[in-house]
């Protein structure tokens, strides 16, 4: 065997191991960069805006878990976001528990609410699923509006107590909860359970033929998504120290869908980028005096659908793999 042939064979044998190693280094570099950006965020923006980015990032990841990996578009996830916000505020007001415990209680209430809603909703698909979730969300909105003795009605919950009053320090106190939620979402997606969800999304009939209880898997994914949305809603309530009916309105669900589409459906981390972009844009527009913020976000949604069909993160992934 010649020396040149041996060198070529060595390079061919080493190629399959170098590619995964390169991808692993890229993942670690992205993780370190993301954590560094998260630490820098309250220094570069108003801390209150940075907290909002964290909350909406969790909400977007929760919606993407259902939309991108199960194929179910929910227009009623504001029900879980808002229910958790109210539950978190009530627990903090009446029981005086530390804010992480209050947020966890709110998320558990959202998950409990998702059980009956999801049980009925997951039996439908497509636009019918979206309409069922929207109907339930509007029903909860009306209940919260009428039950003013508990929710405060149109006035909402005011003066939600929080031991950490400074938004800068509250950001770093809330960051571990957000990281826990993101890690939970990542673990769900990369587990055997997550692979079954993708199989159900792609071909539910085949998954059912293989013996998987499709409705149970969808219901569990729905509840887990509601729990993650509840974590974000509870932090949103503690961050603003009040809760209004807007947290339950259908436009809140619509905004979460816009964030996911902008970031990239089925990318998980795209929701984080979309949340940062939309929240920062809305903050800038509000300070500039522009009143028709919805017009701009709607235009961005249309452009994302027509031009960036895989979203910002999907575009980044495609360029990374082509290099």
**Under 8 Å between Cβ of 235 and 92:** no
Token pair belonging to 228: 């993650």
Is the pLDDT confidence value at 110 over 90? Answer: yes
Is the pLDDT confidence value at 14 over 50? Answer: no
Confidence of residue 315 (pLDDT cuts 50, 70, 90): low
Q: State the average pLDDT over residues 187-197.
A: 93
pLDDT in tens, 124-134: 888 899 999 99
Q: State the average pLDDT over residues 50-75.
A: 93
**Under 8 Å between Cβ of 55 and 239:** yes
Q: How many domains does the chain have?
A: 1
Token pair belonging to 214: 């499709």
Q: Decide which of 305 and 197 is more confident.
A: 197
pTM of the model: 0.88
Is the pLDDT confidence value at 32 over 90? Answer: no
pLDDT of residue 6: 42
Q: Percent of the chain beyond pLDDT 90? A: 55
Judge whether 89 lies within some domain. yes
Is the pLDDT confidence value at 163 over 90? Answer: no
Instruction: Show the domain range for 169.
Output: 47-249
Q: State the average pLDDT over residues 232-253.
A: 93
pLDDT of residue 283: 83
Other CB atoms within 10 A of residue 36 CB: 10
Q: State the average pLDDT over residues 43-61.
A: 92
pLDDT in tens, 252-278: 998 899 889 888 888 888 889 889 988
Is 7 exposed, middle or buried, given 0-12, 13-18 or 19+ CB atoms closer than 10 A?
exposed
Is the pLDDT confidence value at 138 over 50? Answer: yes
Q: What's the mean pLDDT when you consider all of the chain?
A: 85
Confidence of residue 63 (pLDDT cuts 50, 70, 90): very high
pLDDT of residue 88: 95
pLDDT of residue 199: 93
Q: Decide which of 319 and 225 is more confident.
A: 225
Range with the poorest average pLDDT among 42-46, 52-56, 189-193: 42-46
pLDDT of residue 121: 93
Q: State the average pLDDT over residues 150-176.
A: 91
Q: State the average pLDDT over residues 221-229.
A: 96
Is the pLDDT confidence value at 1 over 80? Answer: no
Judge whether 215 lies within some domain. yes
How far is it, in rounded angstroms, from Cα 259 to Cα 182? 16
Judge whether 54 lies within some domain. yes
How far is it, in rounded angstroms, from Cα 219 to Cα 227? 12
**Under 8 Å between Cβ of 117 and 136:** yes
**Under 8 Å between Cβ of 188 and 224:** yes
pLDDT of residue 296: 75
Judge whether 36 lies within some domain. no
Is the pLDDT confidence value at 15 over 50? Answer: no
pLDDT of residue 317: 61
Start-to-end CA span in the chain (Å):
34
Judge whether 113 lies within some domain. yes
pLDDT of residue 308: 67
How far is it, in rounded angstroms, from Cα 308 to Cα 285? 23
Judge whether 159 lies within some domain. yes
Give the distance, in angstroms, between the CA of residue 267 and the centroid of all CA atoms in the same chain: 11
Judge whether 204 lies within some domain. yes
**φ, ψ at 157 (rounded to 5°):** -90, 125
Judge whether 304 lies within some domain. no
pLDDT in tens, 284-311: 887 776 666 777 777 777 777 676 667 7
Q: State the average pLDDT over residues 93-98.
A: 90
């Amino acid at each position: 065997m010649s020396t040149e042939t041996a060198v070529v064979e060595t390079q061919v044998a080493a190629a399959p191991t170098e590619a995964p190693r390169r991808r692993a280094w890229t993942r670690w570099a992205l993780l370190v960069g993301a954590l560094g950006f998260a630490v820098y965020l309250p220094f570069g923006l108003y801390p209150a805006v940075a907290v909002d980015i964290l909350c909406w990032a969790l909400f977007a990841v929760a919606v993407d878990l259902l939309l991108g990996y199960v194929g179910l578009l929910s227009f009623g996830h504001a029900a879980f976001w808002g229910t958790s916000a109210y539950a978190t505020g009530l627990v903090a007001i009446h029981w005086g528990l530390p804010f992480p415990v209050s947020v966890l209680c709110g998320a558990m209430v959202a998950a409990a609410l998702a059980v009956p809603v999801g049980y009925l909703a997951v039996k439908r698909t497509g636009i019918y699923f979206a309409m069922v979730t929207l109907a339930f969300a509007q029903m909860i909105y009306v209940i919260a509006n009428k039950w003013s003795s508990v929710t405060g009605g149109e006035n909402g919950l005011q003066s939600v107590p929080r031991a950490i009053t400074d938004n800068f320090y509250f950001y770093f106190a809330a960051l571990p909860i957000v990281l826990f939620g993101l890690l939970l979402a990542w673990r769900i997606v990369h587990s055997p359970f997550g692979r079954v969800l993708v199989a159900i999304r792609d071909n539910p009939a085949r998954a059912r033929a293989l013996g998987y209880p499709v409705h149970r898997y969808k219901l569990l994914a729905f509840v887990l998504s509601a729990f993650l949305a509840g974590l974000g809603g509870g932090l949103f309530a503690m961050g603003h120290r009040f809760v209004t009916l807007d947290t339950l309105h259908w436009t809140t669900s619509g905004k979460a869908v816009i964030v996911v589409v902008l970031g990239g459906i089925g990318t998980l981390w795209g929701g984080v980028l979309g949340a940062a972009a939309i929240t920062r844009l809305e903050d800038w527009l509000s300070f500039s005096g522009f009143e028709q913020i919805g017009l701009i976000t709607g235009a961005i949604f249309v452009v994302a659908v027509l031009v960036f069909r895989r979203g910002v993160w999907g575009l980044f992934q495609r360029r990374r793999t082509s290099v």
